[in-house]
Amino acid sequence: MSAELALIGPILAAMLAAATPLLFAALGELVVEKSGVLNLGVEGMMLVGAVCGFAVAVQTGSSTLGFVAGAAAGAGMAALFGVLTLLLLANQVATGLALTLFGVGLSALIGQGFVGIPIADVPELYIPGLTDLPVIGKALFGQDALVYLALAAVPAVHWFLYATRKGLILRAVGENHAAAHALGYKVIRIRFLAVLFGGAMSGMGGAFLSLDYTPMWAEGISSGRGWIALALVVFATWKPGRVLLGAWLFGGVTIAQLHVQGLGIDIPSQLLSMLPYLATVIVLVVISRDVARIRLNAPASLGKVFHPDA
């Protein structure tokens, strides 16, 4: 096997791992926005999920409990957002930004005592005969369970939104909350549950970063991935399958900049670190040119305040 061919497997495995936290967070935010709620606090929820997941894993020695704690912490942050915006009718954009700032500070506070603490690697899947396949075996059949859970979430979310009655109701609430309320649907309850789901998914993505992808706790470990996840939802025009493609794209860009540094190419490291975010801006500019497609797929009630007595 040539040296170039031998690199394909590790690069593919790294790309899938890099895409996983984006996939969790973006799928969660997609469901939230499909219900008509815009939560810009994804970055804050990922950070709190990362530090809480890491703290629980360190204290208990169980990465599984760490992932559960990360999801619960993200859902708790989302519940705060839901109370402020859905019950107290606070502005969704301002509250989401405040949630991110709160998450940045809270995660730094909680994580003070966990900086530099080592943690055991999450066990990876091993399937005899498949994991040992040349080139792609380790990449496709040797990842840990969270990578496959993120991939499985894509068809699961698509099925829920487009093949179930509850998914139809959620989309109806996102398109016209007044009409859905007139038909007797509990708009606030439906949106609150969607917000909790989005928070749990963001927290899971954050926990993946600190327990698996790194694995360690460092302040600001998400490094803007929450904002990229928000951009992915628009990039995907609110379609779960396109979220997967977008996550792979940005995961590939992230890994590409690391390999360029490793090859010793004379490019400033700051410029290479910009690549994932520069790619996000470029893609959003290209997507924004198709205004008709965005308007067709974006939930009509996105970001609009609903009051049952209005």
In a domain, 276, yes or no: yes
Give me the pLDDT at residue 306, please.
87
- The pLDDT of residue 152 is 94
Angle at 17 (CA atoms; ends 42, 15), nearest 5 degrees: 110
What's the CA gap between 132 and 177, in Å, rounded? 52
Q: Using DSSP, state whether 144 is helix, strand or coil.
A: strand
Q: Residue 191 pLDDT > 90, yes or no?
A: yes
Token pair 């500019």: residue? 285
CB 197 within 8 A of CB 34: no
Note the pLDDT of residue 308: 78
pLDDT at 310: 56
pLDDT in tens, 26-54: 999 999 999 999 999 999 999 999 999 99
pLDDT band with cut points at 50, 70 and 90 for residue 293: low
Lowest mean pLDDT among 17-31, 208-222, 255-269: 255-269
Domain that holds residue 227: 3-297
- Using CA atoms, how far apart are residues 112 and 153, in angstroms rounded to an integer? 33
Per the domain annotation, does 278 fall within a domain? yes
pLDDT given for residue 292 in this prediction: 63
- Which letter, b or e, does each residue of 250-274 get, where b requires 16 or more Cβ atoms within 10 Å of its Cβ? bbbbbbbbeeeeeeeeeeeeeebee
Higher pLDDT, 120 or 69: 69
Distance of alpha carbon 82 from alpha carbon 90, whole angstroms: 9
3-state secondary structure of 183: coil
SS3 of 124, please?
strand
Residue scoring higher pLDDT (236 or 130): 236
Average pLDDT over residues 188-215: 95
**Lowest mean pLDDT segment, chosen from 15-19, 182-186, 241-245, 248-252:** 248-252
CATH number of the CATH domain containing 24: 1.10.3470
Q: Which of 305, 212, 231 is nearest to 30 (CA)?
A: 231
Band of residue 180 on the pLDDT scale cut at 50, 70, 90: very high
pLDDT at residue 1 is higher than 50 = no
* Domain annotation covers residue 306: no
Total domains present in the chain: 1
Distance separating the N- and C-terminal Cα atoms of the chain: 68
Let me know: does 138 contact 14? Beta carbons within 8 Å.
Answer: no
Q: Give the pLDDT band (50/70/90) at residue 123.
A: confident
* pLDDT at residue 80, rounded to an integer: 97
Residue 217 lies inside a defined structural domain of this protein:
yes
Residue 304 lies in a domain: no
* Cα dist from 37 to 52, 96, 186, 206, whole Å: 25, 10, 15, 21
Indicate whether 302 belongs to any domain: no
Tens digits of residue pLDDT in 15-24: 888 899 999 9
Query: Is 274 part of a structural domain of the chain?
Result: yes
More confident residue, 78 or 292: 78
DSSP state of 85: I
pLDDT of residue 102: 97
Calculate the average pLDDT of the chain.
Answer: 86
162/16 Cα distance (integer angstroms): 26
